[in-house]
Structure 1
Amino acid sequence: MTGLRPGTLIRARVDPAAYNEAVSILNADLHCHSTVSDGTLDPETLAARARANGVELWALTDHDELAGQARARQAALAAGMAYLTGTEISVTFAGETVHIVGLGFDEAHPAIVEGLARTRGGRELRARDMAAELLKVGIPGAYEGALKYVGNPDLISRTHFARFLVEAGVCGDTSEVFRKYLADGKPGFVPHRWAQLGDAVRWITEAGGAAVIAHPGRYRFTPTEEFALFSEFKAHGGQGVEVVTGSHNAADFVKYAEMAGEFGLAASRGSDFHSPAESRIDLGGLPWLPGALTPVWELLDHRITRPG
């Protein structure tokens, strides 16, 4: 799993025996995105792809949005997969954008519906500011160009800008776009003030679900800041952390398995799949969870919708 170039799509699951002798063997993929947010496949196509890759328990986790849930659940059940509701909420913590995945909640509960609506509210203004910054470095029409890739205009994001800049020939792939233009300190970066950590956890838990720290290995925290994130998350009622995810390497699997144990958190598993052309890991293609941890789906067994 180490040494992969961004954009490399892994289609075969890593041999679980090479990862851990005691494993939790369930092909659950509880993190991916559709055209409802910044993915390139619609919920039905994602469900079919997940099933074809052997996924047994699936969740669609579009950014700050629930509009794809009914379609995803219907498609999953029709394909013979069990389903958990999902979303990925952006929050600000220690000056960094952190993502919290919600799983197994009631998608009609006012707490999460109203909270996500507030979170989506600032995206358009931020996108227009990003386009203005890109214009300053000689890239016109970025807002209109990004909109061509947006399934839901309320959820325009850096990923949509990245796809436009690749189409326009500014960069060769989306990873290069982020490195040169959309990361903190680069010409097109505009920060956004998201919800607070405690707000996101509360919205999820009040709606009956479990809150999970998404891909913690991606955040640029010092050890002290990371410890504070986990501590505050746990204090607010957070219940899980992604241990095995598409942006983690083998060392991250070990590190966050240990942190799950240290903080008494359940472990989650999700590819963070966005697109066949862009994602490092395909749906269902991750290593297994270590068996010594509690899988998050065991906490949510009563919230799983099963076929038949």
Structure 2
Amino acid sequence: MNSEIDLHCHSTASDGKLPAAELVARAAERGVKTLAITDHDTAEGYRLGQAAAQELGVRLIPGIELSCIWGGVTIHIVGLNFDPESDVMRAAEQAQTEARSSRSQIIAERVGKRLKHDIDLAEVQAYAGGESIGRPHFAQYLIDKGLVPSMAVAFNKYLGAGKPGDVKASWPEMATVVQWIAAAGGIPVMAHAHLYNMTRTKLRACLADFVDAGGRGLEVAYGQMDNNQRGQMAGLAREFELLGSCGSDFHGPNRFGLDLGVMPPFPADVTPVWQSWA
């Protein structure tokens, strides 16, 4: 279905394909009335989209998607309706930027040492554009420098699992990012929990810790989530007394037909996160 509320999408401030203003315009065209741009580890999408939202009559909610660790698993926590100019949120964004930067430097050093080639991070950043540097950007750099013949070889020899460039980001613990969002006056929401490949027991333990840290919401209507996943998330929201959130996780035009506002119907027996917003 097409929802009038979409609280999970991405702009070019992280890994989306559309600038924030274009994303807001597309939302307006598609009948989305309340939107949160939740770029990875930055609230810049919200800042850059405000003028377009005011002009087009879209209610733009401050949003961010923060990476963190719980039990050795990378978890994403969406922050909604916080103060993007608060000291705590600005500090959180800086901390996440430094975590990403540190990872890129380690990859460059390890892969460069193996290849006996000094990797220029500024050149790798050019492949990433406005996005954070990822391993595919390193791979393209290696190809263009003639150091490997293909993307497959780049990953098989240097960047894939267990290879020198397989470096995990030093993300903070889940409780830390939950507390950042809460301290900035926002609502911490666990994103796409059905995609973490955890057993039900482990996911329930994760949610228990999330709630203990101050977590308040769970995505219960998400992109191309199927009915079974939707039912599981709705049941967990009720069990842990969490507010429900919804979002497409739209990154840009794609061949799968996913667009802004596209998601399953919101479960009728879950309290929506936006109910208390003025």
> Partners in 2 of 1:107 and 1:73 — Cα distance?
12
Counterpart of 1:201 (choices 178, 194, 201) is 178
Once the two structures are overlaid, the 10-residue window that deviates more, 87-96 or 247-256, is 247-256
User: Residue 190 of structure 1 aligns to a residue in which SS?
Assistant: coil
Structure number with greater CO (CA < 8 Å, separation at least 6) is 1
CA-based RMSD of the aligned residues comes to 3.3
> Partners in 1 of 2:77 and 2:187 — Cα distance?
10
Q: Offset of 1:182 from its aligned partner?
A: 6.8
Paired AA for residue 42 in structure 2: E
Q: Using a 3 Å threshold, how does the CA distance of structure 1 residues 220 and 149 change in structure 2: closer, same or farther?
A: same
Counterpart of 1:67 (choices 23, 26, 44) is 44
Paired AA for residue 215 in structure 2: G
User: Residue 44 of structure 2 aligns to a residue in which SS?
Assistant: coil
Is 1:124 the equivalent of 2:115? no
Q: Offset of 1:165 from its aligned partner?
A: 9.1
Cα deviation code 1:92-120 (max 9, x no counterpart): 11111100000000111112211221122
> Partners in 2 of 1:181 and 1:261 — Cα distance?
45
Structure-1 residue corresponding to 2:167 = 190
> Partners in 2 of 1:248 and 1:77 — Cα distance?
31
Q: Using a 3 Å threshold, how does the CA distance of structure 1 residues 158 and 232 change in structure 2: closer, same or farther?
A: farther
Structure-1 residue corresponding to 2:127 = 148
> Partners in 2 of 1:284 and 1:166 — Cα distance?
38
On the 8 A contact 2:221/2:247 being kept in 1, the answer is yes
Count how many residue pairs are aligned between Structure 1 and Structure 2.
272
User: Residue 68 of structure 1 aligns to a residue in which SS?
Assistant: helix
Structure-2 residue corresponding to 1:102 = 79
Is 1:58 the equivalent of 2:35? yes
Cα deviation code 1:162-198 (max 9, x no counterpart): 88799999459xxxx9999977557743111211111
Q: Using a 3 Å threshold, how does the CA distance of structure 1 residues 145 and 269 change in structure 2: closer, same or farther?
A: same
Identity of aligned pairs, percent?
37
Structure 2: stretches of 5+ with no match in the other structure = none
Cα deviation code 1:122-147 (max 9, x no counterpart): 2123123335666759x997953453
* Superposition TM-score, scaled by structure 2 size: 0.84
Is 1:254 the equivalent of 2:239? no
> Partners in 1 of 2:232 and 2:243 — Cα distance?
14
Structure-1 residue corresponding to 2:267 = 290
User: Residue 260 of structure 2 aligns to a residue in which SS?
Assistant: coil
Q: Using a 3 Å threshold, how does the CA distance of structure 1 residues 214 and 163 change in structure 2: closer, same or farther?
A: farther
On the 8 A contact 1:38/1:157 being kept in 2, the answer is no
Structure-2 residue corresponding to 1:6 = none
* Superposition TM-score, scaled by structure 1 size: 0.76
Q: Offset of 1:90 from its aligned partner?
A: 0.6
